[in-house]
Structure 1
Amino acid sequence: MSITAPASRRLTRVGAGIAVVPLFLGLAACGSAGSGEDSGGDVTINVLAEDISYTDNWKAQLSEFEEATGIKVNIETVPYSDQAAKILLNFSQRSTDYDVVFTDNTYGTGYFESGFVDDLTEYESTDDEFVSFDEFYAPYLAPMQTDGTTFGLPVYGESTWLMYRTDLFEEYGIDGPPETMDELEEAARTISEGSGGEVAGISLRGAPGIQSVYPWAGFLRSFGGDFYEDDKIAVDSDESVEAAEFWTDLLENYGPAGVGNFDWEQNRIAFTQGSAAMTIDATANGPFNEDPEASVIAGKVGYAPVPYAISDPPESGNTNNSLNVHALYLSSFSEKKDAAYQFMAWATSEEVQTHGVETSEAVGATLQSVIEGDAYAEKYGPFQEAMLAQLATGNIDYLPAGQDANSIITEVGQALSRSLAGEASAKDALTAAQKALETQLG
């Protein structure tokens, strides 16, 4: 669910940790502060952003924007794990401290539903000099659109996929990537046992909360499950229990030591340093796999869809691969909305995004022209085709979204951790999670 930084310690994503704080989205009413007559003069706007390379890219070019527009921009960066709580506090107090916030669509949808962020449609025509909605890669813009509104400008996005060691598959006689969950388990067993345990068959994120829930949601959907049934929360369904049991057994039998504590970065390192034969995680992992200075497996990685357990998987819609997008949102309480939107349009423009691709890790670039550009193909060619295929089928509803999202993710994440730690069976842990959610959410 985050991204890209010149140094991996700064890279975040859904992959790196949504803060687990209750979303008291009902505390603040819808509202709009300020006249919006602020596009010129000595205007200063404040942006709360993730501490990642996309933000560094803005800072590197910010003087050009400020000189061209006369708008001064203060960009405050925080780790992604701290961001949700800070944004929520700002919104719940109807504060004008931040004009723009930068977060993922899982939260952004809830913010829009609660009236915390604005529909951007009225601002677009005035800032076509920087970017217009139709320039974005359509799957990346879709999570910020509903009922004729567009309430966010995508900065970077990702899907999920299976990454596997082609050299180990060849060594152990495994014919191509697994196409079913049974084949995934068999490949993990073959390599784990064949290497005498020296190489884990598979590594996944096992840490609580969004860390485990993000990739596990693909297992849930692989077994035909969902977080909801008939529009009601149903995290203890038969399919959910089966997916949790399979996930737990897979990691217990063929996962690396300490996997129960793995977050996005630890899982990435385990794979790129040769400790595991497979992993399922974000498409944003691609550049790290192929970086010969940081990865011992560069040039030895295959990329494939996440396999299904059910026999009739969907080709679109409720698929088992994510579509997660981190975007800029305009605070409904900003008093400088015109200037704030100008910054948003500039920050997602072709010139700014192209610079990011050329100078940093920006695999999640969101403009169609940038994704299809020469610089992008040269840098990300080894996995570009596979990544775009995943994005094209990515599931907008892969994770729960809206006002109940954080509670669901927190409870399911705790249930997975309890199951993996042997504190409870998958069924008992998810039953407890369901009861907790029914109590919390009515």
Structure 2
Amino acid sequence: MKLTRALPLATLAAAVAAASQVQAETLRVATVNNNDMVIMQSLTSEFEQAHPGIEVDWVILEENVLRQRLTTDVATGGGQFDVMTIGTYEVPIWAEREWLVPLTDLPDDYDVDDLLTSVRDGLSHDGTLHALPFYGESSMLFYRTDLFEEHGIEMPEQPTWEEVHDWASRIHDPDNGAYGICLRGKPGWGENMAFVSTLVNTFGGRWFDEEWQPQINSPEWQEAIAFYVDLLGNYGPPGASSNGFNENQALFSSGRCAMWVDATSAAGRIYDARESDVADVLGFSQAPVAVTPKGSHWLWSWALAIPASSERQEAARQFITWATSRDYVEMVGEREGWTSVPPGTRTSTYQDERYSEAAPFASFVLEAMQNADPTDSTLEPSPYVGVQFAGIPEFQAIGTQVGQMVAAALTGQMPVQQALDNAQRSAERTMRQAGYYD
């Protein structure tokens, strides 16, 4: 009989650890390069310690690139990613096509009812969640109170675009590094067109009429885009056509912009003196309006979803419930400061005195999100759901093409009329090929 010698304890422990390492699941998480997601990545070790059988591999991309990669992967069933960061545009469309895992039977302590109703509805299909909100946002006007006081300007409760134009012309001082206004110019349906759509809305325009005919070269679009090109071209920073959310946030935080109209989610960072040079002179107001308040501010949520092609769906579910939970909000507040917690997702966040005391914009943002109505965002009736987008599959291509034409008008490559006529023809061709009309 052959006897087997017992292994030393240290060797045995190493063998067990090695076996565990081999068996660990690796989740591939694709997300956008925004500040809240960077914080989430920095807390990966907390998740991995609480879930020793799961490791997280991050793929962090610029917004336009992320959308292209994810759309291609999910449409082909590629299975490259286990968790995708997508939003209120993609979720209902992809869920209808059964590209996403329905999120039923979530843990009781996740507290689904704590999620803001407008956000939860936007991430649902047939009443079932298909993504969990990481953060939500509307849009608002940020401004430097010191420059406004210096020029004798008082911010009204509801600014108009005409007033914004006047203020920008008075404050604009490029020789001293202060531009009148910063706005998105980088082409993309979720970049410049997120902002431009709200501008068109409040000028009385819409993407489509009730017969699904594109309206991109309508008088309302022409007036809105001509206004945008004049305002940003004359009183914005040089190279504005290259600036998206992140670039403008950096410009505003460093004191280079007198005004900035963009996502409410930026408020936490530019109110943080560790991140912003203008934290002590920051004012905010509602997104400006023109002929109608309808659709003047958007409604969006960046959310975490599980593609049906993932082979690690249970591990992915554990990750997304962790990253969007009340405990996660608490952890970020304690470690990063309460202005850094993911905004716009949970009622409990806005009921927390620590957040409301640290974030003077909290109630304002909550009201903006609750008042944004994606079912009634245009002056004239429209057949689509969405404020800064039209919730149809074809919009991604149409919005991208129109964004490129608007950027071409901004840079002077072509007149506004020509840019919109080109965009109109492209949109008509896409809608005809998709079968919306003959």
TM-score of the aligned structures, taking structure 2 as reference length: 0.81
**Match of residue 41, structure 2, among 56, 60, 63:** 56
Residues 34-93 of structure 1: per-residue CA shift (max 9 Å, x gap): xxxxxxxx67362423152353255132134315xxx52433322143322332333233
Distance 2:83 2:342 in 1: 23
8 A contact 2:40–2:323 mirrored in 1: no
Higher RCO, 1 vs 2 (CA within 8 Å, ≥6 residues apart): 1
Moved over 6 A (4+): none
- Superposed displacement of residue 260, structure 1: 2.5
TM-score of the aligned structures, taking structure 1 as reference length: 0.80
**Match of residue 188, structure 1, among 168, 192, 201:** 168
**Match of residue 57, structure 2, among 75, 87, 90:** 75
Change over 3 Å in CA distance of 1:365–1:252 after alignment to 2: closer
Show the counterpart of 2:7: none
Counterparts of residues 191-270 of structure 1 (less than 5 Å): 191-192=171-172, 199-209=178-188, 210-230=190-210, 231-270=212-251
Show the counterpart of 1:11: none
8 A contact 2:165–2:231 mirrored in 1: yes
Larger of the two Rg values belongs to structure = 2
Counterparts of residues 274-353 of structure 1 (less than 5 Å): 274-310=255-291, 312-314=292-294, 319-353=295-329
8 A contact 2:186–2:241 mirrored in 1: yes
**Match of residue 111, structure 2, among 104, 115, 132:** 132
Change over 3 Å in CA distance of 1:206–1:98 after alignment to 2: closer
Distance 1:438 1:296 in 2: 46
Distance 1:48 1:196 in 2: 44
Amino acid at match of 1:398: V
How many equivalent pairs are there? 387
Amino acid at match of 1:98: F
Is there any run of 5+ residues in structure 2 with no aligned partner, and where? 1-22, 375-385, 434-438
- Superposed displacement of residue 250, structure 1: 0.5
Distance 1:265 1:201 in 2: 18
Counterparts of residues 102-121 of structure 1 (less than 5 Å): 102-121=85-104
- 3-state SS of 1:341 partner: helix
Distance 1:228 1:197 in 2: 43
- Superposed displacement of residue 418, structure 1: 1.2
- Superposed displacement of residue 110, structure 1: 2.8
Change over 3 Å in CA distance of 1:229–1:351 after alignment to 2: same
Distance 2:147 2:298 in 1: 27
- Superposed displacement of residue 362, structure 1: 2.6
Tell whether 2:410 aligns with 1:420. yes
8 A contact 1:411–1:433 mirrored in 2: yes
Distance 1:377 1:214 in 2: 28
- Superposed displacement of residue 117, structure 1: 0.7
8 A contact 1:49–1:103 mirrored in 2: no
- 3-state SS of 1:101 partner: strand
Distance 1:420 1:336 in 2: 45
Residues 193-229 of structure 1: per-residue CA shift (max 9 Å, x gap): 7x87753221112222233212222211110222222
8 A contact 2:217–2:424 mirrored in 1: yes
Q: Percent identity among equivalent residues? A: 27
- Superposed displacement of residue 335, structure 1: 4.3
- 3-state SS of 1:182 partner: helix
Amino acid at match of 1:394: A
Residues 153-174 of structure 1: per-residue CA shift (max 9 Å, x gap): 1111111101111122122111
8 A contact 1:54–1:362 mirrored in 2: no
- Superposed displacement of residue 406, structure 1: 1.7
Distance 2:304 2:314 in 1: 14
Is there any run of 5+ residues in structure 1 with no aligned partner, and where? 1-41
Show the counterpart of 1:23: none
8 A contact 2:82–2:311 mirrored in 1: yes
Residues 394-427 of structure 1: per-residue CA shift (max 9 Å, x gap): 3441222341232122112111111111122222
Residues 326-371 of structure 1: per-residue CA shift (max 9 Å, x gap): 1111222334444432332232211122112332333426222133
Change over 3 Å in CA distance of 1:218–1:336 after alignment to 2: same
**Match of residue 362, structure 2, among 378, 384, 387:** 384
Show the counterpart of 1:403: 393
Amino acid at match of 1:215: F
Give the superposed CA RMSD: 2.4
Distance 1:227 1:84 in 2: 21
Distance 2:175 2:62 in 1: 38
- Does 52-61 or 275-284 show the bigger shift? 52-61
